[in-house]
Structure 1
Amino acid sequence: MTAVRLEKITPDNVESACRIAVRPDQERFVSPVAWSLAEAYAQPAVAWPRLIVDGDELVGFLMGFFRIQWHPNHPDDVRSGLWRLNIAADHQGKGYGRFAVEAVCAEARRRGLTRVFTTWEPGEGGPERFYLRLGFRPTGERSGGETVGQLDLAES
């Protein structure tokens, strides 16, 4: 990793963003970038989509979410965190995923938040170990069949 940074999605980079592909064995664990961008378009007040760029090379995509009412029966349970993370297959294992999670955490802190959430699909070859190593802890909740994890920003 050299000069890793986040970039906003623009008309100039959207096609490249949509070409980001994880390994074939990981496709069942994460939605394609194009799907994530459609969700971001539909929820612009909540979604925070960014490209992960190292030097001149596009290496991944992340999408944060900020201030979502988690459950209709609990209007005070408002959450933020990491919605999507796609690191290109040939760039995995180089620290870009950690960079992405840290970037979402930094944005959450900037917004005055003290914790972030994410979800992951359980299963062999899935991202659970990655999120646990970064400090996320399962809350005991499920969302759409996925495990809900929480990271206390004071501890990270």
Structure 2
Amino acid sequence: MKALGNVLWFLFGGFMAGLLWWFAGVIMFITIIGIPWGKACFTIGTLSFFPFGKEAINREVLTGKKDVGTSGWGMLGNVIWFIFGGFWLALSHALAAIVSFITIIGIPFGIQHGKLARISLSPIGKEVVDKEVAERAREKNAERVVGEYRN
């Protein structure tokens, strides 16, 4: 089912959406100062191509280690992102989700737009992985946190 959803999504806009996100990422990389946001654009672009069965997860939960994107600097980058466009990008995906839900047949696409709206709000420090990997990473992270509390 994921494969069929991804093929339909790709053909009916996912390809173009992913290319636009990647193009924005290239432009941001050219500016040098925009490199962190360019990486975020590539992350969102990757999810935009084939979102079914994928999930954006915090990199710290995935790896168990903090990095620049999951630290205070990443939070600052997300605040700047939100102010200069993240809100509007998320709003556009939310509106697309509403329209998709109204059509009934577009409900699966609406769910994917909701996923893209969430990552559009604060993409820095996120990684796109399979849902199963994200679930397992959360379990392992929870085990680690519980272990820290017990010690």
Which TM class, normalised by the smaller chain length? 0.3 to 0.5
**Higher RCO structure, 1 or 2 (CA under 8 Å, sep 6+):** 2
- Which structure features the higher share of helix residues? 2
Which has the greater radius of gyration?
A: 2
TM-score where L is the length of structure 2: 0.35
- Which structure features the higher share of strand residues? 1
